[in-house]
Amino acid sequence: MKHGSLTVVGTGFLVAGQVTPESLASMRAADKLFFLVAEPATRLWLENLLPAAEPLHEVFWEGRPRQEAYDEIVDRLLASVRQGKDVCAAFYGHPGVFVYSSHEAVRRARAEGFTACMLPGVSAEDCLFADLEVDPAAHGCQSFEATDFLIRGRPFDPHSALILWQIGTLGVTTFHLQELWNAGGLAILVEALCRTYPPAHPAIVYEATHYPVCDPLIQRTTITGIPDCQVNTHSTLWVPPIAKARFDVDRARQLGIPV
């Protein structure tokens, strides 16, 4: 293997409260630390941890295509790896959940003969299960990026829970400074969901908190009430099952389950 390596880690949420010991050790051991976080407190903590740490937020500006920004992040990470440095890249949440740059950087680094790996972190989904006190194993759980869910007509089972990510960025491929990128997209989402759920079916618009002293944003509403909620680019939609799934008595007996 060539000299130089890449380790991608997650900072979770709650400033440094959800950073794993494994990820912290990787950040401290790195020759170069890059980071992209969602709020200033984590940024200050990382800069104090390693003063030479380099933020990546400046690759985003009003109207810039997001894919272009993601590609620039990959190029920056690999440039340092090619210089023979042990590079660590820290992204908020889980580094492999809705982070194109992390996956692409690891793939390209390995293709060029460098050691590269990704370490797990605490994702927004992990926070959702804890904050909403729901168990994905109880009825099953389906998870889709909201735009993908709409434009590909994803089939789903309403007898399981439904998670839709990034409902505030529906159909938008460029970066913007405002909190909600497409208010009109919420009406389209409601229309699509009403083909399966009753208009008054319950739903929750959720946002994990970044600070230990603040509560998560949990807005309990209905399918038709989604556009009236406080929605931003970090908002996630949770839709509970419409009813229990059918119980297959014959299959249960085959499995030896008492019925």
Please indicate whether residue 92 is annotated as part of the active site. yes
Q: Which residues contact 1 (CB under 8 A, 6 or more apart)?
A: 113, 114, 115
> Which candidate, 104, 34, 106, 35, places its Cα nearest to that of 71?
104
For the stretch 27-61, what's the b/e string if a residue is b when 16 or more beta carbons lie within 10 angstroms of its beta carbon? beebbbbbbbbbeeebbebbeebbeebeebeebbe
Task: Give the position of tokens 């680019």.
Answer: 233
* The one catalytic residue among 64, 66, 108, 110: 66
Q: Is 70 a catalytic residue?
A: yes
CB atoms within 10 A of CB 256: 6
Selecting among 43, 64, 82, 92, the annotated active-site residue is 92
Which of 78, 101, 79, 104 shows the shortest CA–CA distance to 90? 101
Catalytic residue annotation: 66, 70, 92
